[in-house]
Structure 1
């Protein structure tokens, strides 16, 4: 008996030695996770991404029975955090929670990026971030049709705030300008906060804002929402129509958060993580938590996330090229 056990052990060791690395890792993936997992958030602490990431880490810890640590690695328009994960061991213990722009927008604005989508294994979507088109409270137009009429009568006189040149908010502002055939002057700020400050002060006329930011100011009457850029009306703004409802089907846009792993992560690990994430994001408690901050929970397969990322990369890449948009 002892000899037989010894022979089996030697055979297993020899097999592991000759197996290609991905297969050898896959053979050991059944007990994942057996130690702490790091969830890299490539944004500063305190923002929406941080709220989503820390809630997700807490829920994954409860679901999988192992510690998940949220780690903010901000900088270089998410590139620092993305590169850290791309270069991490392919074992499922370092993951990335990032907005789609990391892969769909930024690569079209920065030729020197040291990561690409093929460096990652898509795992699962987490939530979508809807946007509203808002105008200052004393803007002469109270509806979208009035806004379009005013804009066409005053070409270039509408100052539209953005979160920075090449940002998602800038791209959505261009989508609105093109879709309505209204010439707007894009005013670029260094982030959402200063743009919102000038919206509140009436310095600029309009802005595309995430519902998270727009909702409290719209509810307080500090500015007005003319339309949302979603496929359907938002529960948090039920009286605000979509652009599609108002006759502009091409004006649709949102960003989203999803989890990615380094390319080459064993499939059993990706499958386990995908199942856990989908269980979390389809739960009533997570959906309610997302709705409170203006987001919509999402779920899906790795293949669906890969296709979504590739499709939106083509969409935003075409717009950036057509309008010759450069990063700051």
Structure 2
């Protein structure tokens, strides 16, 4: 395909170059009658040269990609789970691509600041976004006036998913989902559930649990995961939907009890805890995830190179081991599958947000 483009453009330039050109006295180089004024020739030849560049520049750049450092924009502050996963990924991605991949933290506005930056970046594969599910599935429903759309991005690769467990304080009068549901039905609106803030993923997962069980929670909103977990450990709140990173060690230590997980299958970190699905609640499923996106319009060969490299890394035992240590699961998807998943989750969570009347200030 590329060779055909180069040949055709070259033939066009050669053809134009063979045209007779008029000189100031009206004769061409052969001394015969002129057919094209010199000014017209140079305009046409200049246009042909630009056409040649347009046809060949992108394939040539894609062939040499990458020839300099790549920036991976993490739309969270340093030190959090997202940042840790991104740094583990770029260690191997830089080695695979032959050029360093550098983390640039651009936190703020529920990931929208970092997303907006990448949406407006050059379409050359040197500025990428390490997006969370929030970026594309819930922000469009909760944040007014965000300045990016999913259509502004090209999906590159899924990286990991973050499973959740539904936990209760250690002295809660229920030891399984059946007894928890019975208690919640007998005390409508009295069970309080911690969240990481209104509209957060943890809030939405808690609402999925409540609606799936047919019970009502009194949500208690905190400014982040750490204070919510601390009050769970102190027994101040009754329940929470905790990421596996925290729920697995705290459950094993007896700090609180995990009653069920929201994954499709049981989790190796707590294999004794059933899924909601196997307990008869197939709608109580959910996780968050991290994936890589590029600006829409990035050359396809560049996207293919990135996708291939990331998928190869995500499949390695070393990456799986390191993810399992922090409670995540490697997750491989093609770019097409990633786009379909994002759209499906955006619709599902958008309906939940509307039905529950969830808003953020």
Q: For this structure pair, what is the TM-score category when the shorter chain's length is used for normalisation?
A: over 0.9
1:168-317 paired onto structure 2 within 5 Å: 168-317=201-350
- Measure, in 2, the Cα distance between the counterparts of 1:112 and 1:76: 11
Q: Distance in 2 between matches of 1:156 and 1:288?
A: 41
Give the CA deviation at 1:25: 2.3
**In the TM superposition, what are the counterparts of 1:89-100 in structure 2 within 5 Å?**
89-100=122-133
1:9 is displaced (CA, Å) by 12
Deviations 1:60-99, CA, capped at 9 Å, x for gaps: 0111111100111101110111111111100000000111
Distance 2:152 2:142 in 1: 18
CA contact (8 A) 1:26 1:267 kept: no
1:84 to 117, 135, 139: 117
CA distance change for structure 1 residues 126 and 11 in 2, over 3 Å: closer, same or farther? farther
Residues of 2 paired with 1:120 and 1:167: CA distance? 23
Contact 1:22 1:264 in 2 (8 A): no
Native 8 Å contact 1:22 1:266 kept in 2: no
What is the alpha-carbon distance in structure 1 between the residues aligned to residue 154 and residue 226 of structure 2?
A: 33
Q: Which has the higher contact order (CA 8 A, sep 6+)?
A: 1
Residue 355 of structure 2 corresponds to residue 322 of structure 1: yes
In 2: Cα distance, 1:20 partner to 1:309 partner: 36
How many residue pairs get aligned? The number is 322
Distance change (3 Å), C-alpha of 1:14 and 1:287: farther
1:111 is aligned to 2:158: no
Q: Structure 1 107/16 Cα, relative in aligned 2: closer, same or farther at 3 Å?
A: farther
Aligned partners of 1:230 and 1:242 also within 8 Å: yes
Give the superposition deviation at 1:211.
0.1
SS at match of 1:204: coil
Which residue of structure 2 aligns with residue 136 of structure 1?
169
Cα RMSD (Å): 2.0
Report the Cα offset of residue 103 of structure 1. 0.2
In structure 2, do the counterparts of structure 1 residues 20 and 211 end up closer, same or farther at CA, with 3 Å as the change threshold?
farther
Q: Paired residue for 1:122?
A: 155
1:41 aligns with 2:66: no
Residue number in structure 2 paired with 1:3: none
Structure 2 unmatched ranges of 5 or more: 1-8, 15-45
Contact 1:85 1:261 in 2 (8 A): yes
- Equivalent pair of 2:195/2:221 in contact (CA under 8 Å): yes
**What is the TM-score of this pair, normalised by structure 2?**
0.86
Aligned 8 A contact 1:231 1:252 in 2: yes
